[in-house]
Chains A and B, each alone.
Chain A
Amino acid sequence: MEEQKIRVLIAKPGLDGHDRGAKVIARSLRDAGMEVIYTGLRQTPEMIVEASLQEDVDAVGLSILSGAHNALVPRVITLLRENDMGDVPVFVGGIIPSEDTVALIDAGVTAVFGPGTRMDVIAATIRKAVAERA
């Protein structure tokens, strides 16, 4: 019998076109043995949640460098809840000021990973959150 694979959606919500960070994360989670669904640039929260639902992912990772995180992230979380996926952990990466981090965690984000976060820390945090959900 196969071990349970962790399926993670990595998405770039909003309008910034810098996807190197998202690709680095996608690649390193792949190397950590996860199945990463990468949806590409300029996704709306609706697109991200629809993809999460169809893919039945265990976690959602959002990469935002545009500064629009306070608008985009809560919208994703609300839509996940509306679609009976409120228990799916959401992670945010990118350029997030520390005062906003607190607000995002309050809004339901599991963790925020800023620049310089170690890849093994990210993978371990996702694994732990997914295990706690099950």
Chain B
Amino acid sequence: MPELDVLIEQACNGNRRALSRLITQVERGDDSAETVISHLYPLTGNAHIVGITGSPGAGKSSLVNEIAKRLRHLNQRVGIIAVDPSSPFSGGALLGDRIRMRDLYGDSGIFIRSMASRGNLGGLARATGAAVKVMDAGGFNTILIETVGAGQAEVDIAATAHTTIVIEAPGMGDDIQTIKAGILEIADIIVVNKADRPGADITVKALQAMLQLGHPAKTVHHGTVVDVAGVPDEQSALSWQPQVLESVATTGSGVDDVVDEIGRHYTYLRETGRWFEREKDRSRQEIEQLLTARFIARLVALIPQHERDAVVADVAARRQNPYAAVSQLLEKMMSADFQNLPRG
């Protein structure tokens, strides 16, 4: 394999094989990942990162396929990262999102990469953010991230993407589901896919009613139209109100509206300065994750396996409580660090 710096240069010049190899490097998460990201980071920050999430079978892959086709007509280069779950038992994975994206074959303005979640909860793989950076540096204008089929709480995508699309399918529960905390809260755009199915109109209405609970609205009460107060006007002019859109991804119906709405959200983020706010949120989360990972790696390096195992056994046998165990490990780490300090 060529040296990393050669790969990086080739990838930035549009070599797809090099780009692909770099994603493998960052996915491995070892030292070379750090080298790759350090080199590429100054070239990133230009792509519009769009997350697509929703329950398994709601139509995420099919919708990604249709959105990507339309973005290509707008002359955007589109990177796609499709995440599917890893087996908790074997660690293997079946990555099948490409099956729905076969229309995108043969277009050099499209790059599709499947990723296994590799034990990460939250709907993404640990290296998804790094893979996005590689594509961003590689000159892709829009990067679509399809999450693992998500239920209620897989909300990591909101911290990774600028724009989050939540896809719902008809017949997934009553209106109380729509006001529960979690996945619907992160939506910038809500799409009811399979809108040709029975019950789609009920799902749309339930979602719209949920959104109105948080925003000023007009409603009919005993035959008269009343204004329901929401947040003050100057704030609501700046705040984004998610729309509920309908689509049938298998025919492409309604997808033009989804693409328009993605564009509208991009303009909103740029004009209000929210773009940089989202970048800051993302950077903060990224730094915290890296810190945690480094910290754990340091723990593993400084305290031998048998000592860590002994602590685990003590906690399991109720000889020690978990808080005391952590304090003990921290103390050991600090004294080990102290002994390792260079003398002189």
Query: Residues on A close to B: CB < 8 A?
Result: 1-2, 4-5, 26-27, 29-40, 43, 46-47, 50-51, 53-56, 83-85
A-B contact pairs, 12 of them (CB 8 A): A30-B93, A31-B89, A31-B90, A36-B93, A36-B94, A37-B114, A38-B96, A47-B102, A50-B106, A51-B112, A53-B20, A56-B20
The residue in chain A whose Cβ has the minimal distance to the Cβ of B2 is A84
The answer to whether A85 touches B29 (Cβ under 8 A) is no
Instruction: Mark out the residues of chain B between 5 and 50 whose CB falls within 8 Å of any chain A CB in the assembled complex.
Output: 16-17, 20-21, 23-24, 28-30
Check A37/B98 contact, CB under 8 A, given A29-B92, A46-B106: yes
Q: Least Cβ distance of A124 to chain B in Å?
A: 15
Q: In the complex, are the beta carbons of A35 and B99 less than 8 A apart?
A: no
Contact B99 A30 (CB under 8 A): no
The distance in angstroms between the C-alpha atoms of A40 and B99, with both chains bound, is 5
* Listed residue (B16, B92, B99) with the most chain A CB atoms within 10 angstroms of its CB: B92
Complexed CA–CA distance, A26 and B87 (Å): 13
* CA of A83 to CA of B105, assembled, Å: 16
Tell me which residues across on chain B come within 8 A of A2, comparing CB atoms: 28-29, 118
Contacts of A30 in B (CB 8 A): 87, 90, 92-94
**Min CB gap A71→B, angstroms:** 20
- Could you say which residues of chain B place their CB within 8 Å of the CB of A1? 29-30
B113 to A: closest C-beta gap in Å: 6
The 4 closest A-B pairs by CB, nearest first: A40-B99, A30-B92, A56-B20, A56-B24
> A58's closest neighbor in chain B, by CB?
B24
Give complex CA distance A42, B111 in Å. 20
Given A2-B29, A40-B99, A53-B16, the answer on whether A31 and B105 have CB atoms closer than 8 Å is: no
Whether B95 lies near A37 (C-beta < 8 A) is: yes
CB nearest neighbor in A for B16 = A53
Q: Which residues of B contact A54 (CB under 8 A)?
A: 16, 20, 111-113
Majority-rule SS of B interface residues: mixed
Number of A-B contacts (CB under 8 A): 82
**Is the pair A50, B105 in contact by a Cβ cutoff of 8 Å?**
yes
Contact (Cβ within 8 A) B106 A39: no
* B230 at interface, CB cutoff 8 A: no
A40 to B100, CA, bound (A): 9
* Cα separation A93 to B109 with both chains bound (whole Å): 33
Residues of B55-99 at the interface with A, using a CB-CB cut-off of 8 Å, are 86-87, 89-96, 98-99
- B116 near A: Cβ within 8 Å? yes
The smallest C-beta distance from A45 to any residue of chain B, in angstroms, reads 12
Tell me, in angstroms, the Cα distance from A38 to B265 when the chains sit together. 34
Contact of B116 among A5, A39, A56 (CB under 8 A): A5
Do A36 and B95 touch (CB < 8 A)?
yes
User: With A and B bound together, what is the CA distance between A106 and B334 in angstroms?
Assistant: 60
Q: Tell me which of A2, A26, A54 has the highest count of chain B C-beta atoms within 10 A of its own C-beta.
A: A54
List the A residue with the shortest CB-CB distance to B89. A31
Specify which of B29, B90, B91, B114 is in contact with A55 (CB 8 Å cutoff). B114
- How far apart are B116's CB and chain A's nearest CB, in angstroms? 5
In the complex formed, the residue of A with least CB distance to B297 is A1
In the assembled complex, the Cα of A4 lies from the Cα of B118 at a distance in Å of 11
CB <8 Å contact, A55 and B20 = yes
Check A38–B95 contact: CB distance below 8 A. yes
Q: Please name all residues of chain A whose beta carbon is closer than 8 Å to the beta carbon of B90 when the two chains form the complex.
A: 30-33
Greatest chain B CB density within 10 A among A1, A26, A55 is at A55
Q: Given A33-B90, A38-B98, output 15 extra A-B contacts at Cβ < 8 Å.
A: A2-B28, A30-B87, A30-B92, A30-B94, A33-B91, A35-B86, A37-B96, A38-B94, A39-B98, A39-B99, A40-B98, A40-B99, A47-B105, A54-B16, A56-B24
User: Residues of B contacting A53 with CB < 8 Å?
Assistant: 16-17, 20
Contacts of B94 in A (CB 8 A): 26-27, 30, 36, 38
Give every chain A residue within 8 A of B111 (Cβ-Cβ): 54
Contact present for B16 and A35 (CB under 8 Å): no
Distance A30 CA – B114 CA, assembled complex (angstroms): 15
Q: How far is the CB of A56 from chain B (nearest CB, A)?
A: 4
Which chain A residues lie closer than 8 Å to B95 at the CB level?
Answer: 35-38
